[in-house]
Structures are given as structure tokens and as C-alpha cells.
Amino acid sequence: MNISLLGKNALVGGSSKGIGKAIALQLASSGANVTVMARNEEALKTVVDEMDTTKGQNHQYLVVDFSDFDGFTQRISMFFENQTVDILVNNTQGPEAGGALEKSVSDYQKAFDLLFKSVVLTTEHALRGMLQKKWGRIINVASISVKEPLNYLALSNSIRAAMVTWAKSLAYDVGKDNITVNSVLTGYFDTDRIASLNAKKAEKMGISPDKVRSAMEEQVPAKRIGRPKEYGFLVTFLASEQAGYISGTNIPIDGGLLKSM
């Protein structure tokens, strides 16, 4: 199957590194014009330089700070004043790790702004153009923890669960306009985020980060951590014409880690 995204404009959040970067690179290699979005301008410039342009694509970057909701609101609103996107990948950095007893109400509010309000706001802007064109793809980067909560990620568990149920509601409302809305439930991937979480776990347990990683790999039926480019393949398919009948779903990409149905 040949996936072509020629002529499609994509906006990818959290794409200066890790999963977001892998998604952006794969969308570009399939022909999309990609705008990468994150807070590190130098890293974004590097990603733009790496992206495929052999099909005549035009790529760009947008500097935003997802943790500053007021500032993000201004930046994303300005972006959409004169641009539209066909493919929106909602992805941000994760909130601080910690259990439920370690977090305050203000922590949950910050996580809500980061993981939910920024996604809804960006999607509202993107939908204007999608509804006019009667075509669109909205793909949310979520977590397997919405199905099987991880006790050390109380903020992520809670707010991402709200995000995927919102996405399910939205899919129903926009399906008639040939717009799909799907959430990808992320397992263990080889990213800076996983390395940071593993380092904190290792410190608490008094063991090395390598031992934490080995134990993590052993939990996964595939016996390895996922490669970010594998994530990019899935998102690129969901962004394609071929995935037009897939909507309102939560798709795990976890090497078989989830035990629930």
C-alpha cells in the first residue's frame, strides 16, 4: 500500500524530539507539508532541515510553550489566522510524574491546561478549515494509562482519560464531514521522557536506570521498547485517505503490553 499525503498540510505538536519528531518526519516522507511545533526553536529548525522535501513540500516551524496556556492561545490563534491544516496531531510534553497523594489541585489544573485545554483549543481552530474542505484527520497522542492507570502518573492518567472521551464525542459530531478523530494509546517508547521517568524510578528504588529499563522491557510481550519511527508509521496511516473509515477509536501501540481488552 502506497500512502501519499501530497498536498496535505499537517501540524504536529511536541515535535522537536521523540515521538512527535518521528511523526513529523514520516508525514513529510509521505508528501505532506509539515509544521512542527514545540518550545525549542533550535531543535525545531533541525527537524525542519531533516524533513523530506523531494516531493516539493514546504515545511515550517512554530514556537509555542504548551505549559503557558495564555501564551499558547495567542500563538496558535495567530497561526490559524491565515493558515489551515488537513492533519492535526495533538501532542504535548507530559506533566510531572507522581502519585495521587503527591499532587495538589493546582497541579491538576496545570495538567488540565497542558493536556486538555491546549488540545481542544488547537482542534477548534483546525476544524474551521477541515469543515470547509469536508476532509480532515485529528490524531491525539494519548497513553495506555487511560486503560490501565500507572500509579506514578496520576496527572497523566486523569487528564488523558478526559481527552480521549472528548475525542470520542467529537468523532461522532464531525464524522459526516469526512473528518476522523482517533487517539493513539502510547506504550513504552525509546524517548527522553521514558529515560527521565526511569531515572526517577531508579533513584527511588536505589537501582540503576538500566535495571529499570530491563524490567520494563521484560513486561512487554515483544520484549523491547518501541522505536519512535514505528509510531510515525501508525499515525501516517491514520492520516491517510486509506484510513477514512477508522474514527472514534483508541488504538494501543505498546508491543502487546495492555492486558485489558
DSSP 130-146: HHHHT-EEEEEEEEGGG
How do residues 182-212 score in pLDDT, each as one tens digit? Answer: 999 999 999 888 888 888 888 888 898 889 8
Q: Is the pLDDT of residue 255 over 90?
A: yes
> How much is the average pLDDT of 33-46?
98
Torsion, Cα 201 158 156 111, to 10 degrees, reads -120
How do residues 46-98 score in pLDDT, each as one tens digit? Answer: 999 999 999 999 999 999 999 999 999 999 999 999 999 999 999 998 888 88
The count of C-alpha atoms lying within 13 angstroms of the C-alpha of 152, restricted to the half-sphere facing its C-beta, is: 9
Q: Does domain 9-187+227-247 have CATH number 3.30.300.130?
A: no
Give the Cα separation of 29 and 237 in Å (integer).
12
Helix and strand numbers, DSSP H then E, in the chain? 9, 7
- Return the CA Rg of the chain: 18
How would residue 260 be classed by pLDDT, with cut points 50, 70 and 90?
confident
Give the pLDDT confidence score for residue 80 in this predicted structure: 98
% the chain with pLDDT above 90? 85
Here the cell at position 63 is 514556537
Q: Indicate the residue type of 137.
A: R
* Segments of the chain assigned to CATH 3.40.50.720: 9-187+227-247
